[in-house]
């Protein structure tokens, strides 16, 4: 992702202040680590290095451990993401129900590989494991919105909702 896109996504937000507020809300304990990381990720769109530094200091957790937790969960990111996060399920039921064709159509439509963010900062495309909606496979999640029984033909209509 370009420096300009990163700057646009971060727009003068103080990552340390956001992190301190999250720690205040949840408490400075190891048991609240994921909650703190979630708050920072939700507020900033990702978890920047400054936030990891602050959490490490406040919760007295080694940065290596923080990074392993922050990169373990798919809903967290240590890299800037686009304004809209698109997740597509890669589990067997979605795959069998047309997920592969949907994935290929989505990549062609957006010109992105897994984990990439568009140059304009609009989209980030990730493949995720089962999200538990096999009965409506294949499943596509954009931000908090869930779409089931998605076909490649429906993609333009769905993506247009996020203009």
The DSSP annotation for 113-160 comes to: -TT-B-TTS-EEEEEES--S-GGG-S-EEETTEEE-S--GGGHHHHHH
The correct CATH number of 84-160 out of 3.40.30.10, 3.10.450.350, 3.30.56.10, 3.40.50.880 is 3.40.30.10
Q: What pLDDT sits at residue 6? A: 47
Q: What pLDDT sits at residue 91? A: 87
Q: What pLDDT sits at residue 52? A: 96
Q: What pLDDT sits at residue 4? A: 43
Backbone angles phi, psi at 91, to 5 degrees: -75, 165
pLDDT averages per 10-residue partition of the chain, 163 residues: 44 83 95 96 92 96 94 87 90 89 94 92 90 91 94 96 91
* Half-sphere CA count of 117, side-chain side, radius 13 A: 20
Report CA-CA distances (Å) from 32 to 3, 41, 134. Answer: 32, 14, 31
Strands (E) in the chain, as ranges, are 84-89, 123-128, 140-142, 145-147
CA distance 72 to 54: 19
Report CA-CA distances (Å) from 144 to 81, 103, 133. Answer: 15, 19, 14
- Domain residue extents for the chain: 3-72, 84-160
Does residue 100 have a cis bond before it (omega within 30 degrees)? no
Sheet holding 145-147, edge to edge: 123-128, 84-89, 140-142, 145-147
């Amino acid at each position: 992702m370009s420096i300009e896109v990163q700057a646009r996504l971060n727009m003068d937000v103080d990552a340390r202040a956001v992190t301190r507020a999250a720690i205040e809300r949840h408490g400075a304990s190891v048991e609240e680590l994921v909650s703190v990381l979630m708050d920072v990720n939700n507020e900033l769109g990702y978890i920047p290095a400054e936030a990891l530094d602050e959490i490490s200091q406040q919760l007295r957790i080694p940065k290596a451990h923080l990074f392993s937790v922050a990169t373990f969960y798919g809903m967290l990111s240590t890299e800037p993401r686009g304004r809209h996060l698109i997740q597509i399920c890669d589990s067997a039921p979605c795959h069998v129900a047309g997920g592969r064709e949907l994935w290929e159509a989505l990549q062609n439509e957006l010109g992105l590989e897994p984990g990439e963010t568009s140059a304009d900062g609009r989209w980030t495309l990730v493949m995720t494991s089962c999200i538990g909606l096999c009965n409506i496979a294949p499943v596509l999640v954009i931000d908090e919105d869930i779409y089931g029984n998605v076909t490649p033909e429906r993609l333009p209509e769905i993506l247009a909702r996020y203009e």
